[in-house]
Structure 1
Amino acid sequence: MVYLFYRVDGETSAMATFQGRPAYLQIADDIRQQITGDTLRAGDKLPSESELMTDYGVSRIVIRNAVEVLQNEGLVIKQQGRGTFVREQRPMRRRVLGDLYGKRPTGSPMKRATEAEGRRSEWEYQSRRTTATKAISERLGIEPGDPVTRTNYRFFADDEPIMLSTSYEALATTEGTPVEQPEGGAITGVVPRMDAIGLHITHVTEDVNARAPRPYESESLQIAPGVPVMAITRTYFAGERPVETADIIVAADRYTLTYNVPVPAADEA
């Protein structure tokens, strides 16, 4: 079946036609194209449901389904009593692992990267002692139930929340040292803190997955409905010894993760 819609003025809509494609998806395609093509811009109000019904010649439920698709994609946002508006698409910021550690850091690499963009860097945190779960113990190379320091972070750039992080360090590594508290001393940042106690970070591993945000993540990062997050598992190693591991959450519509991977020269292979 081919859907072809006409507006009330008799002109064909800009929507592409597809065989066997539900009408609400075609309408969503049309509006999406207007948004990505800059016909509709951030802050613009979409026509009312009644106006869209007239424009596309379909029922209210079809229009609602189409708008729901766009809302779930993070392209529009509904405001109670006001209507549906095109959501501001924040610029994607590249987060390059090689740039974070191109030089051995003397402080927080997140702070340095944020300020390099000309933005103010701040963070809030809370540390507490707890015990390692099985998953955390495997990542840190310790036994389940061993004591660890857990620190929850929320990072900001110009007052905008940009990242959540939960880090874990074995107390056997830091207890009784000047860097026992991740944020309680003069030195911050995993690499310089570990340098201070003679544990020199040699490499960092990251595993990245995409998923739907948890409710508290959506609230903490002010994530629009339908926007996924990138969940990053990062572990710092001193040789073969893992010394810190973290679970990091960033909104997928705000960052592009880019990795620089060095390749040995031919005579080193």
Structure 2
Amino acid sequence: MTSLDFSGREQLYYQLYDRLFQKIINGTYTIGECIPSESELMKTYQVSRATARRSMEMLANDGFVKKQRGLGTVVISTHPKHSPQRVTKYSRKKRLEDVIAKKKVIEFGVIQAPEEVAEALNLEPETEVICLNRVRYGDTDPYYLEINYFEKDYVPEMLNRNFSEESLRVFLDKTYNIQWSYASQQIYSTTAVSTISDLLKVEEGTPLLHIKRISYDVKDNPREYVDSYYLADKYFLEIELTI
């Protein structure tokens, strides 16, 4: 399988890194063999050069590959020199793409950035930002609430689109060609307050995973702030460690 998930739930460079990582450890790419070039990865996986390059750099940092002049990027080991960069991820009791049937827009428009959003996006207080608030469903059941924030002047065309049907990440990539680099996340356990419980159709006080994420472009600028609430009985956190 060569397709990646462009929904934005997981960074493309990490997905590509993981695909290449798996092919190295399962023997698809053997020691001494070249892995695909950046241009080949861009064509095969429909990603930017920055995404392909970052994935390759992660493999090199983990000791799997090394650039060799005249040859390309060569596999030098099938064992990482330290714990690989696939430490934390979300595991689903079902594959997310198999269960998310629809997205419902709850709120979509321009607001003055709350203090937390302004700080996350490195904006002046009360700068105008676009707020996109959606609930994602599996069949008829809500699975999670996701609130995305962007500086209005950075992505003004966003206001003219319908994100109950269109993929936000694909829109950003195609319209603005944003070169995503990395994201930082904070994960909390919490319980549903009334406004959230109403949207997720659960009792007030139901356990939730509260996840805050800031996504950065290749120039290290924070471009997106996401505030999400996941139903804890459908998601759990899994830690993978190499020992």
Q: TM-score by structure 2 length?
A: 0.55
Q: 2: CA distance between counterparts of 1:140 and 1:124?
A: 25
The equivalent residue for 2:15 is 102
Computed over aligned residues only, the root mean square deviation of the Cα atoms, in angstroms, reads 3.3
Report runs of 4+ in structure 1 exceeding 6 Å deviation: none
CA contact (8 A) 2:191 2:204 kept: no
CA contact (8 A) 1:129 1:150 kept: yes
Q: Out of 120, 126, 149, which is 2:130 matched to?
A: 149
The equivalent residue for 2:169 is 190
Displacement, 1:150?
A: 0.6
The equivalent residue for 1:251 is 231
Q: Out of 198, 203, 209, which is 1:219 matched to?
A: 198
Q: Which is greater in Rg?
A: 1
Alignment of 1:158 with 2:139, yes or no, is: yes
Cα distance change of structure 1 residues 185 and 124 upon mapping to structure 2, 3 Å threshold = closer
Displacement, 1:205?
A: 1.8
Alignment of 1:168 with 2:149, yes or no, is: yes
Alignment of 1:21-170 (within 5 A): 97=10, 102-103=15-16, 114-115=96-97, 117=98, 119-125=99-105, 126-170=107-151
Displacement, 1:208?
A: 0.5
SS at match of 1:210: strand
Where in structure 1 are there 5+ consecutive unaligned residues? Answer: 1-95, 107-112, 263-269
Residue identity matched to 2:181 = T
SS at match of 1:243: strand
Q: 2: CA distance between counterparts of 1:259 and 1:188?
A: 28
Where in structure 2 are there 5+ consecutive unaligned residues? Answer: 1-8, 17-44, 48-94
Cα distance change of structure 1 residues 234 and 251 upon mapping to structure 2, 3 Å threshold = same
What is the CA deviation profile of residues 83-130 of structure 1, one whole-angstrom value per residue up to 9, with x for unaligned ones? Answer: xxxxxxxxxxxxx95799515789xxxxxx533x3x352011131111
SS at match of 2:147: strand
Q: 1: CA distance between counterparts of 2:174 and 2:233?
A: 35
Residue identity matched to 1:123 = K
CA contact (8 A) 2:193 2:205 kept: no
Q: 2: CA distance between counterparts of 1:259 and 1:203?
A: 19
What is the CA deviation profile of residues 186-240 of structure 1, one whole-angstrom value per residue up to 9, with x for unaligned ones? Answer: 9622365145313211112211011121112222212246531111001211021
Percent of residue pairs identical: 17
In terms of fraction of residues, the more strand-rich structure is 2
Q: Out of 236, 242, 256, which is 2:222 matched to?
A: 242
Larger relative contact order (Cα-Cα within 8 Å, sequence gap ≥ 6):
2
SS at match of 1:248: strand
What is the CA deviation profile of residues 122-163 of structure 1, one whole-angstrom value per residue up to 9, with x for unaligned ones? Answer: 011131111112211110111111111111101001111000
CA contact (8 A) 2:13 2:181 kept: no
Residue identity matched to 1:160 = D
SS at match of 2:177: coil
